[in-house]
Chains A and B, each alone.
Chain A
Amino acid sequence: MTHHVETHEEAANDRVMFGFWVYLMTDLLMFAILFAVYAVLHGNTMGGPAGRDLFKPELALAETLILLTSSFTAGIGMIAARRGIKRQVLVWFGITFLLGLAFLGIELFEFAEFIHEGHTMTVNAFLSSFFVLVGTHGLHITSGLLWLAILLAFITKRGLTKANVRKLALLSLFWHFLDIVWIFIFTVVYLRAFV
């Protein structure tokens, strides 16, 4: 009944959004397969320590809260971007970037500790599937941070152009998506180890 009059630009934006959404869904499928692998193999420790002996739940909780907060600040930053307030965009996405960096730091600290203690990914099927699943998420976070850094540099230099706002919208979609994937890593990998 209510016909929406689309401008060319809106239609183009929609297509880009849908394309990116398709990418996110295929990425989600990849994570689903890694989750299935972990679910099948997490008990195969070959007599070595299991998840409950290795994981620190308070560290995983800290990671979860940090990533969740960064997802929230990205959302607030996106509102500022749509209103065209450049300074706020830089502040909110700057916080998002720092929180993402903190998250990555904790994850790398955890990995380094495991490897230092000899729990490397070649030891057993549990550790292989753990490092692949959590590491793949970490790689996504790393690429998201690189993307964000470049985009913030663009915005600082050229301002909130339509193209920059659109890229920022895609990036925050990506970031929210990574937070949702992390909820399941937190639950299935870390919390489940202590059930």
Chain B
Amino acid sequence: MTSNGMSKKSHKPTPKSEHGTTRSYVIGFVLSLIFTVIPYYLVTNKTIAGSALLATILGIAVLQMFIQIFFFLHLGRGPKPFYNVVFFFATAGIIVIVIGASLFIMNNLYHNMSPGEVVRKQAQDEGISQVGGAQTGACQGNKDNHIVVIKDGVASPAHTQANRCDTLTFLNQDKGKREMVFGPHPNYHSYGGEDMVVLDDGRPETITLNETGGFMFHDHLYPNLNGHLTVAP
């Protein structure tokens, strides 16, 4: 391949083709410089964006890897280090499986187990407003407090008008357990990550109103015990 080793077939132990020549190092160096500056330029100037940019810079990194393997490591050149090449590609195969499968499995976990909801809920509980760059809708510092008293199987007031980030306290003055859920019976949905507000008798329970809109709430066990809630932005 290289002009040096092939042209003179002497028996002297002069540099063999599997070793580099100055020329091969210079070519490898210049190409590597180019393929370092290009992705840096693309990223800092945002010429393209999103997944196209990501794919481009990853592609250039792989290209630069092969350039260096060829011009710096001289892998596969010269007659002997054949098993090195085999071993390299076996390793490359394992790496593709390890990285590809890890990402595949973890992405599937995110989709199937929906930990996004869990993370959001935890973040809201701890008043963290951002997770991984996404708003959690957590309220920083509460405003007014509204109280709904449950007595003799009736919630009063029947309608509560509130602003976002106010708090709502349910107070159960009846004997027994109340399980307050949101939405009209029998379809429930969670409110602000809260699936159900469980009230033991006499104990108040407070939630933060971090979702705007109109909502119904009712006792999961006694749908007639219900009320309405409007949260203004």
Enumerate chain A interface residues (CB-CB to B < 8 A): 2, 4, 14, 17-18, 21-22, 25, 28-29, 32-33, 35-37, 39-40, 43-47, 50, 57, 61, 64-65, 68-69, 71-72, 75-76, 78-79, 82-83, 173, 176-177, 179-180, 183-184, 186-188, 191-192, 194-195
Number of interface residues of B (CB under 8 A): 53
Contact B44 A79 (CB under 8 A): no
B102 lies within 8 A of chain A by Cβ: yes
Nearest CB on B from A39, distance (A) = 6
The one of B36, B94, B99 that contacts A186, using a Cβ cutoff of 8 Å: B36
CA distance A129 to B28 in the complex (A): 31
A61 with B15, Cβ < 8 A, contacts A29-B98, A36-B103, A195-B57 known: no
Classify the secondary structure of B's interface with A. helix
Enumerate chain B interface residues (CB-CB to A < 8 A): 15, 19-22, 25-26, 28-29, 32-33, 36, 39-40, 43-44, 49-50, 53-54, 57-58, 60-61, 64-65, 68-69, 72-73, 79-81, 83-84, 87-88, 90-91, 94-95, 98-99, 102-103, 106, 123, 128-133
Classify the secondary structure of A's interface with B. helix
Contact A29 B91 (CB under 8 A): yes
CA distance A84 to B108 in the complex (A): 57
The one of B19, B21, B123 that contacts A47, using a Cβ cutoff of 8 Å: B123
Closest chain A residue, CB of each to CB of B85: A21
A187 with B57, Cβ < 8 A, contacts A39-B99, A195-B50 known: yes
Contact B21 A192 (CB under 8 A): no
